[in-house]
Amino acid sequence: MSDVKLKPTYWRTCRALANEDRLRLFKAVVENEGRFSVRQYARLLGLQDDVASVYLRQMNARGLLGVKREHIKVFYNLNRDRSLPQAAELQQTLATYMRGNLPAGWEDTLVRIFKGFTHFNRLAIIARLAKGDATLPELERAAGTIVKSTYHHLRFLYAAGVVDTYRVGRGSSLYFLKEPTHPVTKVLLRHVLDEEYSRNSNYNPVAGRPDKASRIVLAKIRREEGVTPTNWKNRRGTGVSRKKLSPRAQRAILEA
């Protein structure tokens, strides 16, 4: 993998994990690394084969899982040979967490945490709050959003346990970053703040495209996955035509 970093990558990586089935799959890989095929993981978790395949490929494409092919079978592992730099520590932290004694409802907790980081504007809000407490208008300017959209993103950050607020007078509030307690939240926050996200630095929300460096890395990933520009929209790295997948698998592709 090139030294060029994929930007913006972290919110896309978090999006790949903000799903209970994908988290259970990741946990199953941690527990059975290199021993189970895709079909065995699907049977273990009660998923359709094509859905399990799509989910595992999505995590592989984000650098969270490695892959090894033996004839027609595919085995996933925790190798980080082609991991994106930002995914390596997250993968290690998540694997360590899943090897411990997990509390009841751990999937829901992780989904809420990851959903707090699944949009570029949420990362921009976090980056602004890292500089100090802020009012709602200040967060709007930092994220480049209107009031309704800002509230929408803040709801996800509240649920993730990342942001809180306090009153500073009649009808006025200040928002601030909470001290993280969950190990996964600590890693996510540190990487987001290290990247110094801003609304215009790496991504154009209007054009909806990553910058040039990002496109170079994306192209490399697509080549490694055997996906060409002509079939990218239909295949998205799954190796099969989207029309041959179940409706649920098609939705899974669109979530990537």
33-49: per-residue pLDDT in tens? Answer: 888 989 999 999 999 98
> Given the DSSP bridges, would you call strands 163-167 and 73-77 parallel, antiparallel or unpaired?
unpaired
Name the 3-class secondary structure at 164: strand
Q: Is the pLDDT of residue 54 over 60?
A: yes
Q: Is 170 part of a structural domain of the chain?
A: yes
Per the CB < 8 A criterion, the answer to whether 104 and 110 are in contact is: no
CATH code, 211? 1.10.10.10
More confident residue, 157 or 232: 157
Nearest to 114 by CA among 138, 101, 97, 133: 97
pTM for the whole structure: 0.73
Nearest to 246 by CA among 61, 52, 67: 52
Residue 232: domain span:
10-106+205-255
Asked whether residue 113 falls in the same domain as residue 129, the answer is: yes
Q: Is the pLDDT of residue 177 over 90?
A: yes
d(CA 88, CA 99): 17
Please list the alpha-helical segments (H only) found in the chain.
10-17, 20-31, 38-45, 49-61, 85-99, 106-115, 120-129, 136-143, 147-159, 183-195, 212-224, 232-235, 247-255
Asked whether residue 90 falls in the same domain as residue 211, the answer is: yes
d(CA 23, CA 21): 5
d(CA 144, CA 149): 10
Give the end of a domain, one of 153, 173, 199.
Answer: 199
d(CA 255, CA 38): 20
Per the CB < 8 A criterion, the answer to whether 135 and 167 are in contact is: no
Number of domains in the chain: 2
Asked whether residue 211 falls in the same domain as residue 188, the answer is: no
pLDDT, tens digit (0-9, with 9 covering 90-100), for 78-110: 886 554 666 888 899 999 999 989 999 999 999
Question: pLDDT at position 219, please?
Answer: 60
Of 11-15, 62-66, 78-82, 187-191, minimum mean pLDDT range: 78-82
